[in-house]
Amino acid sequence: MKKFACLLSVVMMSALVGCGDSLPPLTPVTGTITMDGEALDGASITLMPAENTAGRTASGVSDASGNFTLSTTFNQELGTAPGMIGGIYKVMVTKTELVVEDTDLNMEDMSTMDGANTMYDKQFGDMTEDGENDGGYGDPESLIPAQFGVADGNNPLKNVTIGGTEEAAGPAQSVTITLDSNALTGTVQ
């Protein structure tokens, strides 16, 4: 009887492990990005499915040499995985610097009710009727021309095709992105 109970437990656990979502086949995608002939460090590269592509958005951040690896984010259970589903994708590139506004307050200021009220006013005093507030942070400043980061016809970057399908991953692929900030042009290969 013990053997039967153990066997039944193993079968049920195997069935449970097999349930749930699984990752689709993903094509490994790496690349290099330059702007004006120099490696572009800290750029966010996003590939968004073009019309009639059933893929998912993938993204990555370039290092000091301009190298990046693209990953796809799925649901909370599956998380993020390196690679992408094959298809045609729009290419967007952004690089921003967060502007932090100086609140001129420190922890000593928080030790009194007046200090706490002052900090509250600085944090929430500029809140608009729709609840928008930057919480002491200004709008991010774009460090490259904004046209490279839009998903519409104003983006000079062309679409890129990633090999593979929803049923089968393609071979590892390398993408080269070259931006020209003066002419506002770019190429994707």
**DSSP 3-state of 109:** helix
Angle (CA) 131 133 136, round 5° = 155
Distances (CA, A) of 156 to 30, 94, 159, 180: 21, 13, 10, 10
The whole-number pLDDT of residue 5 equals 45
The whole-number pLDDT of residue 18 equals 44
Distances (CA, A) of 10 to 118, 125, 178, 186: 62, 60, 54, 56
Angle (CA) 168 169 173, round 5° = 155
The whole-number pLDDT of residue 15 equals 41
Assess contact for 136 and 124: CB atoms under 8 A. Answer: no
The whole-number pLDDT of residue 158 equals 87
- d(CA 152, CA 141) in angstroms, rounded, equals 20
The whole-number pLDDT of residue 185 equals 80
Ranges of each domain in the chain: 21-95+142-188, 99-139
The whole-number pLDDT of residue 141 equals 81
- d(CA 122, CA 126) in angstroms, rounded, equals 7
Assess contact for 86 and 163: CB atoms under 8 A. Answer: yes
Q: What is the pLDDT along the chain (189 residues), one digit of tens a residue?
A: 455 444 444 444 444 444 557 889 999 999 999 999 999 999 999 999 998 888 899 999 999 999 999 999 888 888 899 999 999 999 999 998 855 555 555 555 545 555 555 555 555 555 555 555 555 555 678 889 988 888 888 888 889 999 998 889 999 999 999 999 888 888 887
Fold of domain 21-95+142-188? Immunoglobulin-like (2.60.40)
Reference 95, options 142, 130, 134, 140; nearest CA is 142
Regarding pTM above 0.95, the answer is no
Burial 102-115 (b: 16+ CB within 10 A, else e): eeeeeeeeeeeeee
The whole-number pLDDT of residue 152 equals 83
The whole-number pLDDT of residue 129 equals 52
